[in-house]
Amino acid sequence: MSHNTQPYDSSLKALFEGHIAEIIPHLFPGARFSGELNDEVLKPPVRADRVYIVDVYNAVAVVHIEMETGADAEIAYRLLEYYGILLKKHQEPLISIVIYPFRTILPESPLRVKIGGEEVLTFHFRVIALWKLNAQYFIERHVIGFYPLLPTMQGATYRRLVDAIEELKLVYNNERRKLAELLLWFGTFLKRTDMVEEADKRKLEIYMNQFESLLEENSFVQRFAAKAAAKAEEKARLEELRRVLTDIVGGRFPALTDLAQVQGARLAEPEALRALVHSISRATDEKTARDILLMA
């Protein structure tokens, strides 16, 4: 089944903001967060999710983290591409980590490149499948940065998830914006995950209704709602123009009705459809109308 990955794209910054220091040791045991590096300006289309600098094994290293929501046969090659760019830029040892919140086919590390029997390249990267982790581990240690991801883990029961949210409410009692962001991501991952039983999901949806007004205040939610409303309005305009086109052609040139429906459905821009309606309304005969439809 295919899923829309847009809600999860570039989510690491929002998810980990303010908590990366506590998160890094759980992604790479023994590492200690030192700072964030801005690598969003890498040459397009290459863009790393998040890049950090850490102290590990008494040395400085760079950690590059990607989040993937589905299988990607080329992820190892993409990580290797990032590795080369980031290694050249920072000239420090690099640790590549890819996080998978949902069940999928995982890539194998290391990536090995051979010529005949000779191995000419070996690239190691770390794969973290959240559905293999236990939610209780992070709750007991109060790793709040991971709380939005708890629904993707084992042991994500209604009671444990509610306890986690109640802790978020206490921690962010005076930071409504941050609380709204974390709850928004929590709800997003909860909706997609298969680690929470359906009965618990329904109970959690009812429980989270109490945050509806808080989420409505969030700027991201407001922008998303505005975009959704704009898309709905554009869709309504398209449907009305398609109906007008079909009515005009059906009334004047019945033999072309099916063609008008096909061409109308193919056009996805209101202006293009409006121009077609205008042109077809001025057609004087069936041949001219057919030519206009075929050229649309």
Per-residue pLDDT tens over the stretch 151-181? 999 999 999 999 999 999 999 888 887 888 8
Whether the predicted model's global pTM rises above the 0.85 cut: no
258 and 191, same structural domain? no
pLDDT of 109 higher than 80: yes
Amino acid making up residue 71: A
Is 222 within a domain? Answer: no
Q: Are 285 and 252 in contact (CB under 8 A)?
A: no
Do 25 and 103 belong together in one domain? yes
pLDDT in the model for residue 5: 47
Specify the number of domains making up the chain: 3
Pair (148, 52) in one structural domain: no
**Does the pLDDT value for residue 132 go beyond 90?**
yes
- The residue segments making up the domain with residue 85 are 6-132
Beta-bridge partner residues of 67: 99
Beta bridge partners of 53: 35, 62
Long-range CB pairs of 286-295 (<8 Å, 24+ gap) are 286/253, 286/255, 286/256, 289/249, 289/252, 289/253, 289/256, 290/253, 290/256, 290/259, 293/249, 293/256, 293/259, 293/260, 293/263, 294/259, 294/263
Q: Do 42 and 89 lie in a common domain?
A: yes
- Residue 239: pLDDT over 70: yes
Number of residues that make up the chain:
296
Q: Considering 217, 237, 266, which residue would you say is the last residue of a domain?
A: 217
Does 1 fall in a domain? no
If asked whether residues 10 and 114 sit together in one domain, one would say yes
pLDDT in tens, 140-153: 999 998 999 999 99
Confidence label for 9 from pLDDT (cuts 50, 70 and 90)? very low
Closest CA to 66 of 29, 101, 26: 101
**Domain closes at, from 194, 217, 240:** 217
127-130: long-range pairs with CB below 8 Å, 24+: 127/98, 127/100, 128/27, 128/97, 128/98, 128/99, 128/100, 129/100, 129/103, 130/99, 130/100, 130/101, 130/102
Residue 215 parent element (H or E): helix 212-217
What's the pLDDT tens digit per position in 40-82?
A: 544 444 455 688 889 888 889 999 988 888 888 999 999 999 9
Specify the residue for token string 């303010």.
Answer: 18
Q: Does residue 152 sit in the same domain as residue 127?
A: no
What pLDDT is attached to residue 246?
93
pLDDT exceeds cutoff 60 at 228: no
For the ranges 53-57, 104-108, 193-197, 277-281, the lowest mean pLDDT is seen at: 53-57
Across the chain, mean pLDDT equals 85
Q: Confidence band (pLDDT; 50, 70, 90) for 2?
A: very low
Q: Average the pLDDT over 186-206 and give the result.
A: 92
Are 204 and 236 part of one and the same domain? no
Averaged pLDDT, 2-6: 46
- Residues 195 and 273 both lie in one domain: no
- On whether both 166 and 189 belong to a single domain, the answer is yes
